[in-house]
């Protein structure tokens, strides 16, 4: 079986591409923000603390969005909530172009974060529940690969648009996914598992929370919360600051964008290799292996001084980190039964987004306090190793197992 086997069923292919494009737009919005922050740092003379806050406020919205969307998707359907979250983040992104103050931009980025945080776990759950067992993990990793396409698109937009037309133009482009939601409404169906469950009594929030933390699910929940927190904290701490870190290493704004674009392209082969290995060797193999290699790449990047070393370390960081993300999204929905699947994944994602709030703020405060880039990336090395250890010792292998109903 190869990576394209999931493409043979037209219905599955349509769902994967339709959900994948919405995922790509999510990534484009987050990616553009990292470049806009670098431009605003110069234009608005932002302090390191303000840069960290602007990067974190998006994740604060994602904390709320992931938890709410997970609960509502179990109640009202994966498709309906996917559409609403897409509309929320698109509208807020477009309105961000009108921001005339730091505070106004922070408020709009919070609202955008609510939509972004809600869409990702719902889309992965929808794809996971629809695909056959032998292709499920690979399909979700391929879905996650659209994230790399979105980051590449954001890097291209930032490289060609921001220096010539300003950061506002980049935000206007971020509003385009609202039009895509009109198409998506007719293009996809809800998952068969959810449709089958609709006739059953719907659980209240307190009942869902009890089941997430029940004896049968507690170990998986603890593992997922640690994993999501460490992965998201390190990802947003490193990647939202990447253009700024390159500038701190002595490169110009445009040169920094150029190098980050090169590093971002490496995300795609990271996803595709993870998609191959996840059905061949299992979820734990991909997560533990790719996280350990991400940690090593992080410390290499932090201690690099030459131009060539920085680019090589950045390429490895993108390759292994985003491959691990693919495994994370494939693995999470497989650990819960259908009636609490979106709630369980949404809560784990929400805990992760708390890490996404803390990461950029930590980096901002450390840089403002004179802490070296090498020490900051050594911290991320330790953080990522903790996440890998949680999977190794607490995780269970789900390769080849049917989803629980």
Statement: residue 130 has pLDDT above 80? yes
Q: Does 361 map to a domain?
A: yes
* pLDDT confidence of residue 285: 95
Q: What is the mean pLDDT of residues 313-330?
A: 91
- Any idea what the Cα angle at residue 383 is, between residues 379 and 384, rounded to 5°? 120
- Structure-block tokens of residue 347: 């809560």
pLDDT reported for residue 7: 55
Q: Which of 67-81, 243-257, 293-307 has the lowest mean pLDDT?
A: 243-257
The Cα 400–Cα 11 span in angstroms is: 21
The Cα 32–Cα 154 span in angstroms is 5
Q: How would residue 6 be classed by pLDDT, with cut points 50, 70 and 90?
A: low
Distance CA 73, CA 81 (A): 6
How high is the pLDDT of residue 249? 73
Q: For residues 43 and 149, what is the distance between their CA atoms, to the nearest angstrom? A: 28
Range of the domain at 183: 8-189+204-394
Distance between CA atoms of 264 and 247, rounded to whole angstroms?
17
**Quick check: is 299 in a domain?**
yes
pLDDT of 395 above 70: yes
At residue 210, the pLDDT reads 93
Q: b/e string for 307-336 if b means 16 or more Cβ within 10 A?
A: eeebbbbbbbbbbbbbbbbbbbbbbbbbbb
The answer to whether position 35 is within a domain reads yes
Mean pLDDT is highest, among 58-72, 75-89, 310-324, 381-395, for: 381-395
pLDDT at 1 over 50: no
Per the CB < 8 A criterion, the answer to whether 264 and 145 are in contact is no
Average pLDDT over residues 300-304: 89
How far is the C-alpha of 322 from the C-alpha of 180, rounded, in Å? 25
In the predicted model, is pLDDT for residue 5 greater than 80?
no
Distance from C-alpha of 148 to C-alpha of 276, rounded to nearest angstrom: 17
Task: Inform me whether the pLDDT recorded for 258 exceeds 60.
Answer: yes
404 belongs to a structural domain: no
Mean pLDDT of 358-387: 91
Q: Report the alpha-carbon distance of residue 327 to residue 286 in Å, rounded.
A: 6
Q: What is the pLDDT of residues 17-41, one digit of tens each?
A: 888 888 888 888 888 887 888 788 8
In a domain, 195, yes or no: no
d(CA 307, CA 172): 33
| pLDDT at residue 191 is higher than 70 | yes
Split into its structural domains, the chain has a count of 1
Mean pLDDT of 93-104: 92
For residues 344-357, give the mean pLDDT: 90
CA–CA dist 193, 217 (Å, integer): 19
3-state secondary structure of 46: coil
Residue 5 or residue 158, greater confidence: 158
Across residues 364-390, what is the average pLDDT? 93
Q: Mean pLDDT over residues 323-334, rounded?
A: 91
pLDDT of residue 142 exceeding 60, the answer is yes
CB 36 within 8 A of CB 159: no
In-domain check, residue 317 = yes
What phi, psi does 241 have (nearest 5°)? -95, -5
Residue 250 backbone class (left: φ over 0; alpha: ψ -120 to 50; beta: rest): left
What is the pLDDT averaged over residues 381-401? 94
CATH number reported for the structural domain that contains residue 290 in this entry: 1.20.1250.20
The per-residue pLDDT for range 229-239, each reduced to its tens digit, is 999 999 888 88
Beta-carbon contacts of 195 under 8 Å, excluding residues fewer than 6 positions away, are none
pLDDT surpassing 60 at residue 193: yes
Record the tokens describing residue 110, joined without a space: 């919070």
Q: Tell whether pTM > 0.75.
A: yes
Return the percentage of the chain with pLDDT > 70, whole number. 96
Contact 93, 77 (CB under 8 A): no
Question: CB of 333 within 8 A of CB of 345?
Answer: yes
């Amino acid at each position: 079986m190869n990576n394209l086997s999931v493409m043979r069923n037209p219905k599955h292919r349509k769902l994967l591409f339709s959900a994948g494009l919405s995922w790509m737009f999510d990534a484009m919005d987050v990616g553009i923000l990292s470049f806009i922050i670098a431009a605003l740092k110069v234009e608005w003379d932002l302090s390191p603390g303000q840069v960290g806050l602007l990067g974190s406020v998006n994740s604060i919205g994602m904390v709320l969005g992931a938890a709410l969307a997970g609960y509502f998707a179990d109640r009202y359907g994966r498709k309906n909530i996917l559409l609403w979250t897409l509309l929320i983040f698109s509208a807020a992104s477009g309105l961000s172009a009108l921001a005339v103050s730091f505070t106004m931009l922070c408020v709009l980025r919070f609202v955008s974060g609510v939509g972004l945080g809600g869409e990702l776990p719902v889309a992965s759950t929808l794809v996971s529940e629809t695909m056959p067992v032998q292709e499920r993990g690979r399909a979700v990793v391929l879905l996650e690969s659209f994230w790399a396409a979105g980051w590449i698109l954001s890097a291209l937009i930032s490289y060609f648009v921001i220096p010539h037309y300003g950061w506002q133009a980049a935000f206007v482009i971020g509003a385009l996914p609202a039009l895509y939601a009109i198409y998506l409404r007719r293009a996809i169906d809800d998952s068969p598992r959810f449709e089958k469950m609709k006739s059953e009594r719907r659980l209240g929030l307190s009942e869902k929370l009890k089941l997430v933390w029940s004896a049968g699910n507690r170990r998986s929940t603890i593992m997922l919360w640690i994993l999501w927190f460490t992965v998201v904290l390190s990802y947003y701490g490193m990647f939202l600051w990447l253009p700024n870190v390159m500038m701190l290493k002595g490169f110009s704004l445009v040169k920094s964008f150029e190098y980050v674009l090169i590093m971002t392209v490496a995300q795609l082969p990271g996803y595709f290799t993870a998609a191959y290995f996840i059905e061949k060797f299992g979820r734990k193999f991909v997560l533990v292996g790719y996280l350990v290699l991400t940690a090593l790449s992080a410390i290499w990047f932090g201690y690099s001084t030459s131009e060539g070393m920085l680019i090589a370390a950045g390429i490895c960081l993108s390759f292994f980190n985003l491959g691990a993300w693919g495994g994370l999204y494939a693995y999470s929905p497989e650990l819960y039964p259908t009636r609490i699947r979106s709630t369980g994944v949404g809560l784990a994602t929400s805990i992760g987004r708390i890490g996404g709030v803390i990461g950029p703020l930590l980096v901002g405060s450390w840089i403002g306090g004179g802490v070296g880039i090498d020490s900051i990336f050594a911290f991320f090395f330790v953080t990522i190793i903790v996440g890998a250890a949680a999977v190794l010792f607490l995780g269970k292998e789900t390769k080849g197992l049917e989803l629980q109903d």
